[in-house]
Amino acid sequence: MSWNPFRSSPKKSVVTRAEEREFEKEVKKLEELDQVTKKLYKELKRCTEAKQVVAKSERKITQDLLNSTLCQTDAELKQQIGDWDRAVSKLEACTIEMNNSVQKTVIEPLKKFSSIFPSVQTAVKKRDQALQEYQKCQGKADKYEERERTGINRVKQEAAKKSLHAAREEFMYRNFALKEDMPKFRESRVDYMQPCLESLINSQTTYNTEAFKLYSETYFQMNGLMEITKEEYNERIQKNLTSIKKLSITLDD
């Protein structure tokens, strides 16, 4: 069983079970927030990398077509592929710009937000250690209270009381700080994430708007500035396929 830095130690008699359960609930909520933040960070990194790969792959397609004998022997096709290549080149630049924006306004802020959790984990661990020390000192103080009140025992009793007081103060300080700060930190996620998500949506909108514009211009250039309906486009494809099927090299033996 792996160690979980968020998992608090077993319930202690110096703290009520109800108090400890409430504390564990807050710790669990932060543990879940930590996991969600890491997952979102990882998926956004993967998304930007994938978009860059797609942009480069499409550019490679147009470049390969332009360098092929097919385009070298067909001026009209070469012109159309050239228009497509120019559009793809511009779109590749738009992809880089979008990814840079997402990196600065979303991915990096998520990384900074995620970097806070180790400090919270450390604070929870120290609180648990303070709780254990508090319980230990409480047990020692109780033990000396039950002993015969001799001179030596009284000295030990006073020392145990001082240790108990110090341990109690240390635990109360750490416990109070976490009980106050954990809910505040968790609630801060909304105000922190909102601008990041808005920036992500704006970047996606800008990119997709430009992509639509570039592909629309290329579409009209390829079709002689004439808009073709979906039905007409399908008919054209079907007609070309029929012509290809009639070729001798495509006939079944």
Question: What does the pLDDT look like over 149-162, one tens digit per residue?
Answer: 777 777 888 888 89
pLDDT of residue 224: 66
d(CA 147, CA 179): 37
d(CA 5, CA 35): 13
Residues 6+ apart with CB under 8 A from 27: 6, 7, 8, 124, 182
Tell me the mean pLDDT in the region 121-126: 96
pTM of the model: 0.76
Q: How confident is the model at residue 228 (pLDDT cuts 50, 70, 90)?
A: low
What is the gyration radius of the CA atoms in the chain, in angstroms? Answer: 34
Between 115 and 151, whose confidence is greater?
115
Tell me the mean pLDDT in the region 18-32: 94
d(CA 82, CA 89): 10
Q: Out of 1-5, 66-70, 153-157, 174-178, which region has the weakest mean confidence (pLDDT)?
A: 1-5
pLDDT of residue 154: 79
Q: What percent of the chain has pLDDT over 70?
A: 87
pLDDT of residue 11: 41
pLDDT of residue 243: 75
Question: pLDDT tens, 37-88?
Answer: 999 999 999 999 999 999 999 999 999 999 999 888 989 889 989 999 999 9
> CATH assignment of 17-250?
1.20.1270.60
- DSSP assignment of the chain, as one string? ----TTSPPPP-TTS-HHHHHHHHHHHHHHHHHHHHHHHHHHHHHHHHHHHHHHHHHHHHHHHHHHTSHHHHT-HHHHHHHHHHHHHHHHHHHHHHHHHHHHIIIIIHHHHHHHTTHHHHHHHHHHHHHHHHHHHHHHHHHHHHHTS---HHHHHHHHHHHHHHHHHHHHHHHHHHHHHHHHHHHHHHHHHHHHHHHHHHHHHHHHHHHHHHHHHHHHHHHHTTT----HHHHHHHHHHHHHHHHTSGGGS--
d(CA 68, CA 48): 30
pLDDT of residue 247: 64
pLDDT of residue 6: 47
pLDDT of residue 235: 80
